[in-house]
């Protein structure tokens, strides 16, 4: 795989904002942009994977080529994430949403409790699904809301002293980056000693160096920073696998996936293979420290333009809690201006900017593979539009 820059328009003025190849700046929140070298490699491997005479979409999950994919993904993910030997990297299906049930099913003892920190729509969904899980399958267990940022439209991350943990939770659940509202934890919460943190890191996994040892479980869908849809990654400490409940369906048990290399049945092998290519691409970019720097610079270009025109634009997130992945903003003058901006942006090659249906306005997602040039184009549009319409 070569390591050149991401596939994107060379100039926003080309061809209605498209490059000669017809590609745009894809600000979509996920599934989202992939690096050009990854796409090119997939194109090759879809036809004939490593001389096997079969495409990667067609090989068996029991074939030796797939054995090699599994081994390499594991090795490369461990290397980029500095994942200690006492953690497993698993792949399941069902997305992060599937984990809303799978986490309490595995980790919550009968009649136990778990604490949830609610910082956005996805965190809220995790809380609600866990509550429903307990009502159906673990009556007597308690899902406790330890904190919520709902009072201010989820525009901030709660301080440690605003989080009220229950007496002895089995785990604390948090969402590291709030994709809908554009806030991100820039610290690890101080949880009671010995209580594992279970983190939904769907929208910022491997976008910065993460100290895995601070967490018991880190999970998420791969479709934003680590590839395409279909594979749910779970990085989990061995002791949690060992003590996980065994009286739940086999296809929900972390232990089964750990024992069977994430293939107790036919896995989403194309998605897992794509995670492997992303891991290699991340290595080629200099690893997570280099990506953190690049991601901060990219988001910084857009935030700087919004701050310069703060009379015209309103950012959703409190400054210190701003996400480096999802930048959420709206025109102070109302929705008609948002619509006009989205139209202009699209004409200039910037697509996928419409905010989530629950928040409206604009959301620029600038994940690992998103090119810096696209952030510059958007920042210029933000300035020009404010000047002309302010």
Tell me the number of residues near ligand PMP by CB under 6 A. Answer: 11
Based on the residue annotation, tell me whether 122 is a catalytic residue of this protein.
yes
- Cα–Cα nearest to 234, from 92, 36, 62: 92
| Residue found under tokens 């539009």 | 385
Q: Does 352 bind ligand PMP (CB under 6 A)?
A: no
Nearer to ligand PMP, 69 or 123 (CB): 123
Q: Classify residue 334 as exposed, middle or buried by CB count within 10 Å of its CB (0-12, 13-18, 19+).
A: exposed
Q: Does 315 bind ligand PMP (CB under 6 A)?
A: no
- Which of the ranges 56-64, 183-191, 197-205, 291-299 carries the binding residues for ligand PMP, by CB under 6 A? 197-205
* Rounded CA separation 163/172 (Å): 11
- Which of the ranges 1-9, 154-162, 196-204, 284-292 carries the binding residues for ligand PMP, by CB under 6 A? 196-204
* Rounded CA separation 194/98 (Å): 26
Q: 115 has which bridge partners? A: 144, 172
* Closest residue by beta carbon to ligand PMP: 95
Kindly give, in sequence order, each residue whose CB lies less than 8 Å from that of residue 67, ignoring residues fewer than 6 positions away: none
Site string for ligand PMP, 84-103 (x = CB under 6 A): -----------xxx------
Residue 200 Cβ, how far from ligand PMP at the closest point, in Å?
5
- Which of the ranges 199-207, 251-259, 284-292, 316-324 carries the binding residues for ligand PMP, by CB under 6 A? 199-207
SS (H, E, C) 213-256: HHCCEEEEECCCCCCCCCCEEEEEEHHHHHHCCCCCCHHHCHHH
> Largest Cα–Cα distance of the chain, in whole Å?
63
Q: 91 has which bridge partners? A: 233
Nearer to ligand PMP, 148 or 348 (CB): 148
Establish whether the linkage from the previous residue to 31 is cis, with ω within 30° of 0.
Answer: yes
Nearer to ligand PMP, 28 or 349 (CB): 28
* Rounded CA separation 377/385 (Å): 12
User: Cβ distance 267 to 313 under 8 Å?
Assistant: no
Neighbour tally for 16: CB within 10 Å: 12
Residue 133 Cβ, how far from ligand PMP at the closest point, in Å?
15
- Which of 179, 225, 328, 365 is close enough to bind ligand PMP by CB under 6 A? 179
Nearer to ligand PMP, 59 or 353 (CB): 353
Q: Does 227 bind ligand PMP (CB under 6 A)?
A: no
Based on the residue annotation, tell me whether 47 is a catalytic residue of this protein.
no
Based on the residue annotation, tell me whether 142 is a catalytic residue of this protein.
no
Three-class SS state of 126? helix
Q: Does 122 bind ligand PMP (CB under 6 A)?
A: yes
Nearer to ligand PMP, 106 or 203 (CB): 203
Nearer to ligand PMP, 59 or 362 (CB): 362
Q: Does 200 bind ligand PMP (CB under 6 A)?
A: yes
* Rounded CA separation 307/313 (Å): 8
Neighbour tally for 319: CB within 10 Å: 9
* Rounded CA separation 258/260 (Å): 6
Catalytic residue among 224, 280, 298, 354: 224
User: Cβ distance 81 to 288 under 8 Å?
Assistant: yes
Nearer to ligand PMP, 145 or 229 (CB): 229
- Which of 41, 148, 149, 203 is close enough to bind ligand PMP by CB under 6 A? 203
- Which of 183, 202, 274, 323 is close enough to bind ligand PMP by CB under 6 A? 202
Six-digit token string for 366: 């600038």
Catalytic residue among 200, 204, 321, 338: 200
* Rounded CA separation 340/84 (Å): 49
Site string for ligand PMP, 22-51 (x = CB under 6 A): --------x---------------------
- Which of the ranges 130-138, 198-206, 240-248, 280-288 carries the binding residues for ligand PMP, by CB under 6 A? 198-206
Six-digit token string for 98: 């599937």
Catalytic residue among 88, 101, 122, 354: 122
Which residues contact ligand PMP by CB under 6 A?
Answer: 30, 95-97, 122, 175, 179, 200, 202-203, 221
Active-site annotation, residues: 122, 200, 224
């Amino acid at each position: 795989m070569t390591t050149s820059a991401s596939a994107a328009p060379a100039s926003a003025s080309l061809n209605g904002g498209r490059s000669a190849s017809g590609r745009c700046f894809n600000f979509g929140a996920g599934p989202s942009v992939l690096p050009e070298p990854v796409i090119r490699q997939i194109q090759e491997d879809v036809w004939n994977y490593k001389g096997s005479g079969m495409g990667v979409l067609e090989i068996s999950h029991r074939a030796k080529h797939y054995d090699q994919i599994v081994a390499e993904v594991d090795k490369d993910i461990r290397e980029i994430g500095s994942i200690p030997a006492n953690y497993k990297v698993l792949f399941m299906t069902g997305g992060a949403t599937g984990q809303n049930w799978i986490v309490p099913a595995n980790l919550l003892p009968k009649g136990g409790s778990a604490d949830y920190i609610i910082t956005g729509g996805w965190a809220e969904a995790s809380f609600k699904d866990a509550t429903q899980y307990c009502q159906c399958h673990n009556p007597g267990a308690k899902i406790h809301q330890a904190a919520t940022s709902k009072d201010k439209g989820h525009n901030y991350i709660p301080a440690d002293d605003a989080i009220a943990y229950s007496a002895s939770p089995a785990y604390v659940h948090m969402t590291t980056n709030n994709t809908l509202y554009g806030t991100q934890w820039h610290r690890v919460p101080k949880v009671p000693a010995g209580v594992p943190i279970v983190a939904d890191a769907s929208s910022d996994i491997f976008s910065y160096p993460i100290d895995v040892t601070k967490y018991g479980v880190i999970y998420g869908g791969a479709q934003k920073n680590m590839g395409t849809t279909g594979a749910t990654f779970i990085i989990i400490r061995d002791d949690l696998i060992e003590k996980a409940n065994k009286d739940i369906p086999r296809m929900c048990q972390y232990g089964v996936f750990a024992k069977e290399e994430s293939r107790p049945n036919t896995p989403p092998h194309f998605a897992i293979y794509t995670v492997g290519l992303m891991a290699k691409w991340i290595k080629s970019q200099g690893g997570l420290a280099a990506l953190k720097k690049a991601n901060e610079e990219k988001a910084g270009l857009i935030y700087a333009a919004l701050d310069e025109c703060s009379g015209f634009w309103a950012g959703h997130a409190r400054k210190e809690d701003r996400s480096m992945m999802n930048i959420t903003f709206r025109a102070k003058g109302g929705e008609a201006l948002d619509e006009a901006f989205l139209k202009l942006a699209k004409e200039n090659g910037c697509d996928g900017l419409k905010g989530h249906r629950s928040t409206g306005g604009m959301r620029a997602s600038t994940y690992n593979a998103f090119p810096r040039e696209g952030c510059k184009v958007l920042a210029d549009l933000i300035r020009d539009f404010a000047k002309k319409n302010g």
